[in-house]
Amino acid sequence: MNPYEAELEELTAQDRFRYCRTVEPATNWPQVRVDGQLAVDFCSNHYLGLAQDKRLKTAAYEAIQRYGTGSGSSRLVSGTSLPIKQLEESVARFKGTESARIFNSGYQANVGVIQALLGKGDYVFMDRLNHASLVDGCLLSGARLVRYAHLDMTNLESRLRKVPADQRKWIISDTVFSMDGDSLKGQLGHLLDLAEQYNALVMLDEAHATGLWGDKRSSGLVEAEGETERVTLHMGTFSKALGGFGAYVAGSQALMEVLTNRSRGFIYSTALPPAVVATAEAALTIVQSDSRLKECLWDNVRYFKSCLAPILEGQPESHSQIIPIILGQQTMPVCEALLQQGFFVQGIRPPTVPEGSERLRISISAVHSREQLDAFASALSKTVLNWVDLNVLTR
Ligand SMILES: *Cc1c(COP(=O)(O)O)cnc(C)c1O
């Protein structure tokens, strides 16, 4: 047997083999067909349902008519198109910063930014549950990676204290955690105080908060906590609540110019196509001018959590539209049983989450109907109680 076949066999033996299901649209999203089975989608990060919004589709279509389908090259080679230039200005206004850069994806932004701004001799302090792309950027940069306990500011401080004062330091964190649904809410101020005290710069990843948090512009948790000024670098994506694809980073003009000159993910990759850029612009306009979708989402989240209260007791507390239910070894059987009942919810296993904390990851959207939420809550409660004795789960 060749070594890769052996590796696959080992994954299968450990119940870690993963594959991608085939999903097709069915009537209206969130109705989908998963490997042929009709189901309601509770996996997608399209929290506002914008990927199906007519205004975004029209913007994409018009951009293709005007500019074509591709962008030709990287921006340092063939130039920045007008839609990208305008989108960067829109993002800077949205985030309340001097300047912004568009990257081709959130993964590429995180890897490209950290690799560009940090190097040997620098220190990066990261929450232990940060997104993999932030960790990968750090590994690529050659900086020293120091991981602190999840959302634990005391632990962060004890780690900051050990590093010599004259070393360059960054604190980097997700604002809403993608697999746990908890957040820096109520703790961001403390994190920024520590950054000031220990002379560290701060980068925050708002992938799951962009478009959803903040009273005025819905630009993320940093806006909601009133801390725009004290954050060095803001990052977020167009691929989740904003219903499209691509990512932004925002901060000072000088930092953005360093990225243009040093970030390999920016320099060595073709710019996003016009349709994608136009979609992002349309989504930014919608989330800043119309709060109805966002209100629907938070209503749905509150309602669904109240329906599931008995199951959620003893689970990690979600602050958001992402609701984890840790089921350990029973995760995949529960997942399969739910699909057979018409609910598509994904089981998340290591290495995405730590060993022993295998879970269902439910994401709620503004366009789920009350009937869909009721039916899912009821099927979920019955199925989970059927398969799992919640009291014996080690947490
Ligand atoms: C999804 C995600 C990313 C990656 O964004 P993509 O646009 O999907 O590449 C980065 N950071 C966090 C926290 C994410 O959840």
> Tens digits of per-residue pLDDT, 23-52?
999 989 999 999 999 999 999 999 999 999
> Please, are residues 218 and 285 in contact by the beta-carbon 8 Å criterion?
no
Both tokens of 230, joined, read 């004290």
Q: Which of 102, 103, 104, 107 has the most ligand 1 atoms within 8 A of CB, as the residue to mutate?
A: 107
pLDDT band at 365 (very low <50, low <70, confident <90, very high): very high
pLDDT band at 88 (very low <50, low <70, confident <90, very high): very high
Looking at residue 243, what is its pLDDT?
98
Ligand 1 midpoint to CA 178 (Å): 8
pLDDT, tens digit (0-9, with 9 covering 90-100), for 124-173 = 999 999 999 999 999 999 999 999 999 999 999 999 999 998 999 999 99
Q: Which atom of ligand 1 is the closest one to the Cα of 106?
A: 5
- Average pLDDT of 101-122? 98
Q: Among 104, 105, 124, 92, which residue's Cα sits nearest to residue 234?
A: 92
Looking at residue 8, what is its pLDDT?
95
pLDDT, tens digit (0-9, with 9 covering 90-100), for 304-317 = 999 999 999 989 99
Ligand 1 midpoint to CA 206 (Å): 9
Q: Which atom of ligand 1 is the closest one to the Cα of 178?
A: 15
pLDDT above 70 coverage of the chain, percent: 98
Other CB atoms within 10 Å distance of the CB of residue 237: 26
Q: Which residues line ligand 1 (CB under 6 A)?
A: 105-107, 110, 131, 133, 174, 178, 205, 207-208, 237, 239, 247
- Average pLDDT of 103-130? 98
Looking at residue 394, what is its pLDDT?
44
**Protein residue with its CA nearest to atom 14 in ligand 1:** 207
User: Is residue 15 pLDDT above 90, yes or no?
Assistant: no
Looking at residue 393, what is its pLDDT?
54
**Protein residue with its CA nearest to atom 7 in ligand 1:** 106
Q: Among 124, 130, 237, which residue's Cα sits nearest to residue 180?
A: 130
- Average pLDDT of 325-336? 94
Top pLDDT among 14 and 88 is at 88
Q: Which of 105, 133, 320 has the most ligand 1 atoms within 8 A of CB, as the residue to mutate?
A: 133
Query: Which helix (H) or strand (E) segment is 262 a member of?
Result: helix 253-262
Ligand 1 midpoint to CA 208 (Å): 8
Looking at residue 44, what is its pLDDT?
97
| Whether the predicted model's global pTM rises above the 0.75 cut | yes
Ligand 1 midpoint to CA 104 (Å): 11
Q: Which atom of ligand 1 is the closest one to the Cα of 176?
A: 13
**Protein residue with its CA nearest to atom 10 in ligand 1:** 106
Ligand 1 midpoint to CA 378 (Å): 31
Q: Which atom of ligand 1 is the closest one to the Cα of 208?
A: 15
Q: Which of 103, 239, 245, 348 has the most ligand 1 atoms within 8 A of CB, as the residue to mutate?
A: 239
Ligand 1 midpoint to CA 158 (Å): 29
Looking at residue 391, what is its pLDDT?
58
Looking at residue 174, what is its pLDDT?
98
Sorted by sequence, the CB contacts under 8 Å of residue 196 that are 6+ apart come out as 230
Catalytic residues: 178, 208, 240
Looking at residue 395, what is its pLDDT?
43
- The tally of CA atoms less than 13 A away on the side-chain side of residue 49 is 20
Cα torsion through 261, 266, 272, 274, rounded to 10: -10
Sorted by sequence, the CB contacts under 8 Å of residue 198 that are 6+ apart come out as 157, 160, 161, 163, 165, 169
Looking at residue 295, what is its pLDDT?
97
